[in-house]
Amino acid sequence: MGSVFPVDSGFGFPEEELEKWDSAKYEAILKGGEQVTSVLKEMVKLLEDMEMDEASEAAAVELAAQGVIGKRVDEMEAGFMMALDYMIQLAEKDQDDQRKSLLEVIKQTVLDHLTKKCPTHVQVIGLLCRTPGKESRHELLRRKGTKVHLPGANLNDIANQADDLLETMESRTSIPDRKLLARLVLIREEARGMMGGGILDERNDRGLKTLPEAEVNFLAKLIALKPGETVLEMIKNVMLGRDEGAEDPGSDDEHSKNRRSTSGGIAGRGSVTGRKPRPVRPGMFLETVSKVLGGVYSGNVSGMTAQHLEWVHEKTLLILQEMAF
């Protein structure tokens, strides 16, 4: 166990790397590195006092991490996580699996402790993001039949928090983690669906004055076709970031390029603004479907049926479920 933590100058950071950092970053990582090393030493001391076989080693390491970090989490230096990430990279480069594994346990334990300090609805979203089964998520949202102790958070807070996270992710030029995005869309839609008025509940109103052009154009294309495999394939491609959902047309495959070149504005007409619409985003697309569906029910939208829109909504959720887990 003694070789698990670096104790040399710079806490294992190569001199050439240290020279690249400005003084503030150097100081932060150095202080964070001292703390990481101190945590490792204390963990190793605890582990040395335990009698354990190989099978119980992983559990013992987690217990030691919980014990050491629980006492220190409020005193963590700003550079602690930065230093930890850097040490994990070094362990990976050195192919030191034991050191890397121990550092990753520390990182996860710190994140778990920080999560407990988050607002309750954020904690619930974190739990839902780690729950693959739709029925299991619904049980958690209903708080019935579960053996897990859940922090108190209402459906509206959960839906709004998921929506805020979604909006932040979808406003960026590219989406690095579509799996996480798909999970957040599912959580938002499932929480909304369980509220009194379902997805059309007035509390679900994001306050959009006008609907986004890209999503309206894409929905119009789908509604112009009969429900079936062709439409499913179109939705799936866009949810995966292809065709109308592609972020960088320059890097699209030929299939995506051809599809985008033949679809300008609403129902294939040119864009209303004259600019190429931004990519269709999963969260905003379902937001648009719900808004149009609300318009159909209130008699303000004609030319499409509620049944058709509900089918699109339902199938999009099934596709996102496949993507998410």
Looking at residue 282, its pLDDT comes to 98
- Global pTM reads 0.60
Q: DSSP alpha helices (H): ranges in the chain?
A: 15-20, 23-48, 57-72, 80-93, 97-116, 120-129, 134-142, 155-170, 178-193, 213-223, 229-239, 254-261, 282-297, 306-324
CA angle 34, 38, 43 (to 5 degrees): 150
For residue 246, report the phi and psi dihedrals to the nearest 5 degrees: -70, 135
Cβ neighbours of 67 (radius 10 Å): 13
Distance separating alpha carbons of residues 181 and 169, to the nearest angstrom = 7
> If 0-12 CB within 10 Å is exposed, 13-18 middle and 19+ buried, where does residue 10 land?
middle
What band does 305 get if pLDDT is binned at 50, 70 and 90? Answer: confident
Q: For 22-26, 50-54, 84-88, 196-200, which range has the lowest pLDDT when averaged over its residues?
A: 50-54
Mean residue pLDDT across the chain = 79
Looking at residue 246, its pLDDT comes to 94
pLDDT tens for each residue of 186-229: 999 999 988 876 777 776 666 666 889 999 999 999 999 999 99
Q: What is the mean pLDDT of residues 222-241?
A: 97
Cβ neighbours of 85 (radius 10 Å): 14
What band does 117 get if pLDDT is binned at 50, 70 and 90? Answer: low
